[in-house]
């Protein structure tokens, strides 16, 4: 009887939780697929495109003031202490590192395709919020037996995932 009760409880509570998680994964995957398409269409991984897809500093600051996110004062202070100039510099540094490594790997941006997004949930992630560590996998169709990966971190602000950071571009042999 206890097993049946537990199963019924899981089916009534677990289904909405699984549905919400599936929607989150779909949203994250959609974000990197869209970014892959834009890079391919522009035939370049531009700083403007990179910034467009990352969470804005103004949204982070707004999230810091949301009581339902229960962000610690330390994390709020960290977010609010970052100036727009410093945030732009951080994004530029990460972007430059990706472009530099991609150049060394001789990637052809106009020939890239999305392959997969591998992810691992984190209960307490950046700024004390839940999130996901991801590995964004793309391929250059002009190269055989080669994949490219980038670390992509998603932070959950409420029920929505936002790309917080992309870095660590690597060439991987199949």
Q: Along the 174 residues of the chain, how does pLDDT read in single tens digits?
A: 445 444 334 444 444 444 456 788 999 999 999 999 999 999 999 999 999 999 999 999 999 998 888 888 998 999 999 999 999 999 999 999 999 999 999 999 999 999 999 999 988 778 888 999 999 999 999 999 999 999 999 999 888 999 999 999 999 987
Question: By CB neighbour count within 10 A (0-12 exposed, 13-18 middle, 19+ buried), where does 157 fall?
Answer: buried
Phi/psi for 55 (5° steps) reads -60, 140
Q: Report the pLDDT value the prediction gives residue 2, as an integer from 0 to 100.
A: 47
Please report the pLDDT score of residue 15 as a whole number: 45
Q: Provide the pLDDT for residue 31.
A: 95
Q: Which pLDDT value is given to residue 128?
A: 84
How far apart (Å, rounded) are the C-alpha atoms in residues 152 and 163? 7
DSSP 44: S
Determine the pLDDT at residue 158: 84
The pLDDT value given to residue 126: 81
At 21 the pLDDT is 63
pLDDT value for 159:
85
pLDDT score recorded for residue 17: 42
């Amino acid at each position: 009887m206890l097993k049946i009760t537990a199963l019924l409880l899981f089916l009534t509570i677990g289904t909405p939780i699984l549905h919400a998680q599936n929607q989150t994964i779909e949203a994250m995957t959609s974000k990197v697929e869209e970014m892959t398409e834009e890079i391919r269409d522009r035939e370049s991984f531009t700083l403007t495109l990179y910034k467009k897809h990352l969470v804005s500093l103004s949204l982070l600051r707004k999230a810091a003031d949301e009581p339902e996110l229960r962000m610690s004062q330390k994390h709020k202070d960290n977010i609010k202490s970052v100036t727009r100039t410093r945030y732009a510099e951080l994004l530029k540094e990460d972007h430059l590192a990706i472009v530099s490594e991609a150049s060394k790997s001789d990637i052809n941006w106009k020939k890239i395709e999305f392959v997969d997004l591998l992810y691992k949930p984190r209960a307490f992630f950046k700024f004390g919020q839940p999130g996901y560590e991801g590995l964004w996998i793309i391929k250059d169709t002009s190269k055989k037996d080669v994949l490219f990966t980038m670390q992509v971190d998603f932070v959950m602000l409420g029920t929505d995932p936002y790309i917080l950071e992309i870095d660590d571009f690597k060439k991987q042999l199949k």
